[in-house]
Amino acid sequence: MANVLMFAEVRGGELRKVALEALVAARRLAAASGGGAVHAVLAGAPGVGAHAAALANGGADQVLLLEHDGFAHYNPEALTATLAERLRGGSYGYALFSATAQGRDLSPRVAARLRTGLAPDLTGFRVEGDAVVGEHFTMNGKVVATLALSGSPALLSVRPAAFQPAADPRPLATEAITSAADPMASRVKVTALRQGNSGTLDLNDAPVIIAGGRGLKAPEHFRLCDELAAAFGNAAVGATRAVTDEGWRPHSDQIGQTGRNVSPTLYVAIGISGAIQHLAGMRTSKTIVAINKDKDAPIFKVADYGITGDAFEVVPALIEAVKQAKAQG
Amino acid sequence: MKIAVCIKRVPVMEAKFAIAGDGTRVDETGLKWDVNDFDLWAIEAALQLKEANGNQGEVVAISLGPDAAQEQLRKAMAMGADRAILLQCDRPPADGLAVAEALAAELAGGGWDLVLFGRIAIDSMNQMTGPMVAELLGLPCVTNVCKLAVANGAGEAERALEGAAEVVTFPLPAVLTIDDGLNKERLPSLKGIMAAKKKPLDVKPAALGAAHVAQVKAALPPERAAGRILGDSAAAVPELVRLLQTEAKVL
Ligand SMILES: Cc1cc2nc3c(=O)[nH]c(=O)nc-3n(C[C@H](O)[C@H](O)[C@H](O)COP(=O)(O)OP(=O)(O)OC[C@H]3O[C@@H](n4cnc5c(N)ncnc54)[C@H](O)[C@@H]3O)c2cc1C
Ligand SMILES: Nc1ncnc2c1ncn2[C@@H]1O[C@H](COP(=O)(O)O)[C@@H](O)[C@H]1O
């Protein structure tokens, strides 16, 4: 039996959906290794403890609450010291992180501090004897590797959207903890957070993604994507590198090898050719729709449904049709 | 400025991959190789910093890999790196910590102002080596750098997050991992290629750390079933919506 320490990601004071996903993975890990407890580390400025209830509801047996002004922003050095100290205590067999910019910054630091193994960005895993065996994309998403992770504590990070958040309520048990290093003395200091398109869903949280490519021809035509996203209601808008290079959309909207990895239920690619570097970031989407006037575009090789037509004719019709479908419930 | 850049030799990803006979990795027969994309941007960042500092100091490219990785180190020198080091091993292990320990052993005590990495190697997709090396060396570290300014022994960077960015300050010496969007790499000039042939390239065995992670299997993801073309105009929209509702059940 081994306890699992999980790191609950907070950004700008908000608990991220990936934290609840990681909690589901942590519960599964605890169960697979003989039914240990799941402890969630929740760090932030005073007040962040308000999210403890969500973590208990998602399956945390205990919330380790680290409230200090020095954690108002992500504080990698103080968090590394604190997590390493907890893990050295010996009661944890595993530590679990989200494979996000934050989790993929923090987990290697902790692994190196403890000289222990880290299996990154897993899409699934199981426990086999003393080892965790999990799947991890390599080769730009073209090859799935199975990694065997041994040693204790073993560190894992799980890919956003690979696990679905679920209610698994426990009585709320919160323990206030202190930082193992002075959080105000970190050499690396986050001084500001620049949120992206606030008000719209983040690409990793949206069940539907409408992505536009160079085929849209001008930044103002992304209105078509925005309107289609609004018609779906639960959608975010993404783009190709051709588009972000042109400055039509911010770099943070870029999907692909050098951008975001997304895995929504529905991915609608509009005026996107389907270059391998783009496919690397979206090919694991559940259903893919492509609208492209070139019937030979590679995007049609991965699309479930394709329309080989002009986006400027097809998309307005699609917007109306989706609105109608939604209205009919 | 004395800057080290860690670069990895990776397969060119346009390849149609096959799995090797032992079932644990890709078959390397016929693959083409290049410098990991993100590492090209790290080299470019190092060169720009050196140039901005009156070309003082040096840029050193370091790679852990097989002898063939000398080709990638020569490319880094053709772009402008002053010298290179190959930490030789048959094939870099899957465990990022084992690689980080070998790189840290080489970098320790080198008097570096900056040690640059790519955010991620597109073959391993580990995204861990940079911050691990930083930790092993006890250096401050900023990952996913997409904007960078360095002056007077300190730096300010922007760190790319999902749909947002953090502004980060840090003192030198430091470890940075470079993300897309910071720069576009220069192409090696003919003159650079000629000069690179004469630049020093040290070869030594890699002091790999113990491995905790092993790659026990490799497989190609299931092909997506062939899709359907529903039509070539807006007339196909009703059918698309019907399929999204009834078949894919996503609307
Ligand atoms: C190292 C490296 C990393 C990269 N990383 C990424 C990455 O992370 N993400 C990424 O996206 N790309 C990436 N790329 C770039 C990638 O190779 C492609 O260049 C890019 O994805 C192309 O974007 P696109 O599909 O928008 O444009 P294009 O390839 O120009 O395609 C535009 C498409 O629009 C169609 N079209 C034109 N007009 C219409 C119309 N009226 N109606 C409908 N369709 C129309 C055309 O038929 C065409 O297929 C990377 C490249 C490199 C070298
Ligand atoms: N074998 C290697 N030799 C030199 N640098 C490496 C090697 N492996 C990884 N790196 C560096 O670490 C970064 C991240 O790699 P990874 O953690 O494997 O995704 C790369 O972009 C390189 O800068």
Q: Do A276 and B14 touch (CB under 8 A)?
A: yes
What mean pLDDT comes out for the span B198-212? 97
Summarize pLDDT for A176-214 with one digit per residue, the tens.
999 999 999 999 999 999 876 545 678 877 899 999 999
> Which residue in the set A101, A113, A305 is minimally distant from B160, CB to CB?
A101
Summarize pLDDT for B86-137 with one digit per residue, the tens.
999 999 999 999 999 999 999 999 999 999 999 999 999 999 999 999 999 9
What's the mean pLDDT when you consider all of chain B? 96
Which residue spans within A26-130 are E strands per DSSP?
Answer: 38-44, 62-67, 92-98, 118-128
* Chain B residue nearest residue A261, CA to CA: B162
- pLDDT-derived band at A259 (thresholds 50, 70, 90) equals confident
> Which residue in the set A108, A109, A300 is minimally distant from B227, CB to CB?
A300
**Do the Cβ atoms of B72 and B35 come closer than 8 Å?**
yes
What mean pLDDT comes out for the span A252-274? 93
The finding on whether A259 has its CB within 6 A of some atom of ligand 1 is: yes
Which element (helix H / strand E) includes A176?
strand A174-176
Token pair 């070309």 is found at B55
Give the pairing type, strands B154-161 and B141-151.
antiparallel
Rounded (5°) CA angle A243-A247-A252: 75
Q: Do A140 and B125 touch (CB under 8 A)?
A: yes
Summarize pLDDT for A52-79 with one digit per residue, the tens.
999 999 999 999 999 999 999 999 999 9
A283 contacts chain B (CB < 8 A): yes
Cα–Cα distance for residue pair A279/A255, rounded to 1 Å: 8
The finding on whether B93 has its CB within 6 A of some atom of ligand 2 is: no
Q: Do B13 and A133 touch (CB under 8 A)?
A: no
ipTM of predicted complex:
0.91
Percentage above 70 pLDDT, chain B: 100
Cα–Cα distance for residue pair A144/A137, rounded to 1 Å: 5
Name the A residues in 155-184 with CB < 8 Å from any B CB.
Answer: 160
**Do the Cβ atoms of B216 and A133 come closer than 8 Å?**
yes
Q: Do B213 and A148 touch (CB under 8 A)?
A: yes
* Chain B residue nearest residue A113, CA to CA: B135
**Do the Cβ atoms of A194 and A85 come closer than 8 Å?**
no
The finding on whether A243 has its CB within 6 A of some atom of ligand 1 is: yes
- Indicate whether B191 pLDDT > 60: yes
Which residue spans within chain B are E strands per DSSP?
Answer: 2-6, 9-11, 33-35, 58-65, 83-88, 114-118, 141-151, 154-161, 164-171, 174-178, 201-205, 213-219, 228-231
Q: Phi/psi at B72 (nearest 5 deg)?
A: -70, -35
- Indicate whether B59 pLDDT > 60: yes
Q: Do A112 and B97 touch (CB under 8 A)?
A: yes
Mutational test site, ligand 2, from B6, B44, B63, max ligand atoms within 8 Å of CB: B6
Give the pairing type, strands B83-88 and B114-118.
unpaired
CA A65 to ligand 1 centroid distance, Å: 45
Residue A198: what pLDDT? Answer: 47
A151 contacts chain B (CB < 8 A): yes
Residue A197: what pLDDT? Answer: 57
Report chain B residues whose CB lies below 8 A from the CB of A322: 241, 251
Q: Residue B12 corresponds to which tokens in the numbers above?
A: 């060119």
Residue nearest to atom 7 of ligand 2 (CA): B8
A321 φψ region: left (φ > 0), alpha (ψ -120 to 50), beta (else): alpha
Summarize pLDDT for A142-170 with one digit per residue, the tens.
999 999 999 899 999 999 888 989 999 99
Which element (helix H / strand E) includes A19?
helix A17-32
- pLDDT-derived band at A301 (thresholds 50, 70, 90) equals very high
In ligand 1, the atom with minimum distance to the C-alpha of A297 is: 49
What mean pLDDT comes out for the span A12-16? 95
Cα–Cα distance for residue pair B86/B203, rounded to 1 Å: 5
* Cβ-Cβ contacts under 8 Å for A198 (sequence gap 6 or more): none
Percentage above 90 pLDDT, chain A: 85
Mutational test site, ligand 1, from A248, A254, A258, max ligand atoms within 8 Å of CB: A258
In ligand 2, the atom with minimum distance to the C-alpha of B65 is: 1
Q: Which ligand is nearest to the CA of B115?
A: 2
Residue A284: what pLDDT? Answer: 87
Q: Which ligand is nearest to the CA of A314?
A: 1
Residue nearest to atom 4 of ligand 2 (CA): B63
Q: Which ligand is nearest to the CA of A218?
A: 1
Name the A residues in 13-72 with CB < 8 Å from any B CB.
Answer: none
Residue A206: what pLDDT? Answer: 87
